[in-house]
Amino acid sequence: MMRNCLVMMGFVLFFGGNVFAHAPADTLITLEEFDISAPRYRELSTGFSTRRIDTMALKELSHHDLSFLLNRHSGMFIKSYGPGVLATTSMRGGSAGQTAILWNGISLQNPMHNQSDLALLPVFFADEVSIQYGGGSALWGSGAMGGTVSFNNERLIDEGLQMQAGLITSGIGEFTQTLRAQWAGENFSTRLRLLHRDSENRYRFINTSLEGRPEMTQEHAALDQWGLLHEMFFRFGNRHLLDLRWWYQENARNIPPALQQTHTGARQEDEALRISAQWQSNFNRTVFFWRGALLEEKLLYRYSLNQDSLNQDSRSRSGSIIQEVEARWQLPASLLFTAGANFEGVRARSDEYAQSQSRNTLALFASARWEPLPGKLQLKLNGRQAFQENQDIPFAPSIGVSWKALSSIILKANTGRNYRLPSLNDLYWVPGGNPELKPEDGWSQDFSFNYEHPRQKTSAATQNHDNRFLPVKSASITAFHRQISDWIIWLPRNGGMVWTPENVMQVRSYGLESMVEGSWSMDDFSLQYSLWWDHIISKNTKAKSPNDASEGKQLIYVPRNKAGINLRITLNRFSLYYHHQHTGKRYTSSDNSNWLEPYFTGDAGINWNTGFHNRHGLNLFANVVNIWNRQYQEMAGRPMPLRFFQAGINFEFNSINP
């Protein structure tokens, strides 16, 4: 631990010596662009600290799931039960249900448990992954309390036909095939992605519960996954755009037993269909959007203790219909006004409910963005009020400011009210569901400092490979504070025989999120690095009962620190990456008397790219996951894999020169 700190410190000092010495003051960095037709997740975030995961990283990790990517490229803590097994997030010390996962602006949180399993979201299906830190209920409604992860697809720009096929295999018995085909014309373009993953998932792990900590192989984690994402983009004249998408995915997974479970045959089958459409009409000073989505999820959990005795099946199914209209007006005096309405109809049935349940939510939202000093100062006011039949929902406002204090420095501040509605399981689970629950409710404040090297933007435009050393290309540091009351947790009642969710916790969180990026390029050689560190304190501030020793203690499964380095070296046709991340202690008891030890992991990969006929491409890659062969658990009793290798090939065909 101490050694890690010193290494990190040395690293920073080495690059940090004379950062601003050659910073000319003539170029400008800009505020969020004043683009009236930009997607809402990008356009409305004035004052928020956001982070876009670098597209090279998306390529390098395209055969992994979203949990792996976020774990390696952000300070977000991922609660993973093993590779391909259930994975959820904790942002800013929140629970899994307090992070919104959005797919092109549509929430993927399952209404039954308010969570989204990141292990089921293949990175291959995303063109962009970005993280918005901090509460976003004023933008997204329920759930976006700790932050928002956007999993987005972008409209095609390249013309012509492009096809890409990939094949990946790994030492844990994985075979994955991917196919992407896209065609873009002037008024119509389409893209299809197919993924099939078949993995024995026989990873090695250390059984820490046994004497001598023997190495064992996971025998019950095999998974089979296939998915299809098809998008169609239409353009009608100069004004109208239509985007259609549908995404179907099937997953069958054996659930590995916990360390001390001697036998389990648990198995989970998930099936999801997501259809979305967006119509966009651009007029001179007005943009109109209509969005619609249909989301269906089916889950079968089969719990069996041994082959010949019992099989207990638990089935659940949920469906949502989302309709949204939104209009934006660009008014004089640099004023942008947005208003809209969102309807969400949810129904769910489960073997664990007395009857099928439904819930309709209507939300009205509006926001105004004003630039009193164009290009210098931006103010943003958002508000959202949702209505439900049997639930009082708080009005969620937020206000944000972005100020370009210097040509290279932007300061952002933001405050807002956030809430999370109880999930359908919280309300209706038998036994214990509590229909009297109130939403979790609280306020958050953020302040961030962002630096971007002034030459950064211009050089990207000229791209003439001047040999440059930019130890700090960009840097940011964000401080946040958040208070949530009526936090829902399940507590045992009636002598521990029935568990019931109650609005009992009060949680105060605060901390820092920081990041530095730099690069060094010289002829055919380039080195890029990013260094990030999140520090999060998240404390229960109210005793739940007279004997409760958790007051003032860090919440369970919220590491105080998570830090990492991402390095990439490119030389001619080769590129090499290395990720290193350190995760601090995670308490496993609410009185902080028990914990999982801090750990670090490193992954490395090498890519070789070649092209022929000037337009086709071939890419060979090899990766090592957990290169230092470290034993670690993100969740108690759930060992993560020791070192394993992956290798693959991608072939790309282009009908015209890219």
Partner 1 sequence: MKKYTTEFPGRLMHSFSLPVLIASLFLLFSCAKDEAEPENDFPEIKKGEGVFIVNEGNFQWGNSSLSFYHRESNTMYNGLFKKANGEDLGDIFQSMHIHQDHAYLVLNNSGKIEVIDPESCLRTGTISGLVSPRYFLPVNDQEAYVSDLYGNHLAIVDLEKQEVSGEIPINGWSEALLLAGNKVLATGMESGYVYVIDPANHSLTDSIHAGPGPSAMVKDKNGHVWVLCGGMYDVEEEPLLLQLDVESLEVLQTIALPGDQTLYSRLSVSPDGKTLYFSGQGIYAFSINGSSPEPEILISPEGQVFYGLKADPHTGEIFVSDAVDFVQKGKVMRYTPEGSLIDHMEAMIIPGDFIFY
Report 78-97 residues binding partner 1 (CB under 8 A).
none
Residue of 395, 389, 392 lying closest to 358 (CA atoms): 389
Give 119-175 as a 3 state SS string.
Answer: HHCEHHHCCEEEEEECCCHHHHCCCCCCEEEEEECCCCCCCEEEEEEEEEEECCCEE
Site for partner 1 in 481-540 (CB under 8 A): 489, 491-498, 512, 514, 516, 531, 533, 535
Nearer to partner 1, 164 or 561 (CB): 561
CB of 560 to partner 1, least distance (A): 7
CB of 491 to partner 1, least distance (A): 6
Q: What tokens does 71 get?
A: 């774990």
Nearer to partner 1, 549 or 571 (CB): 549
- The DSSP bridge partners found for residue 292 are 277, 323
* Burial (0-12, 13-18, 19+ Cβ within 10 Å), 17: exposed
Site map for partner 1, 191-220, x if CB under 8 A?
-----------------xxxxx--------
Q: 70 by DSSP, 3-state: which?
A: helix
Q: Is the dihedral of CA 73, 82, 556, 267 positive or negative?
A: positive
Identified binder of partner 1 from the candidate list 124, 289, 353, 451, rule CB under 8 A: 451
Identified binder of partner 1 from the candidate list 238, 260, 355, 657, rule CB under 8 A: 260
Q: Kindly indicate which of the ranges 38-46, 192-200, 383-391, 557-565 contains the residues binding partner 1, using the contact rule CB under 8 A.
A: 557-565
End-to-end CA distance of the chain: 47
Residue 592, interface with partner 1 (CB under 8 A)?
yes
Q: Kindly indicate which of the ranges 101-109, 309-317, 344-352, 375-383 contains the residues binding partner 1, using the contact rule CB under 8 A.
A: 309-317
CB of 54 to partner 1, least distance (A): 19
Site for partner 1 in 455-474 (CB under 8 A): 471-472
Site map for partner 1, 597-626, x if CB under 8 A?
------------------------------
CB of 307 to partner 1, least distance (A): 12
Identified binder of partner 1 from the candidate list 373, 405, 622, 656, rule CB under 8 A: 405
Cis peptide before 431 (omega within 30 of 0): yes
Q: Are 456 and 29 in contact (CB under 8 A)?
A: yes
Nearer to partner 1, 182 or 588 (CB): 588
Nearer to partner 1, 19 or 339 (CB): 19
**Alpha-carbon distance 318 to 520, whole Å?**
50
Identified binder of partner 1 from the candidate list 331, 364, 373, 549, rule CB under 8 A: 549
Site for partner 1 in 567-586 (CB under 8 A): 584-585
Site for partner 1 in 279-308 (CB under 8 A): 305-306
Give 183-203 as a 3 state SS string.
Answer: EECCCEEEEEEEEEEEECCCC
**Alpha-carbon distance 424 to 426, whole Å?**
5
Tell me, by CB under 8 A, how many residues bind partner 1: 78
* Burial (0-12, 13-18, 19+ Cβ within 10 Å), 2: exposed
Q: What tokens does 331 get?
A: 């008014």
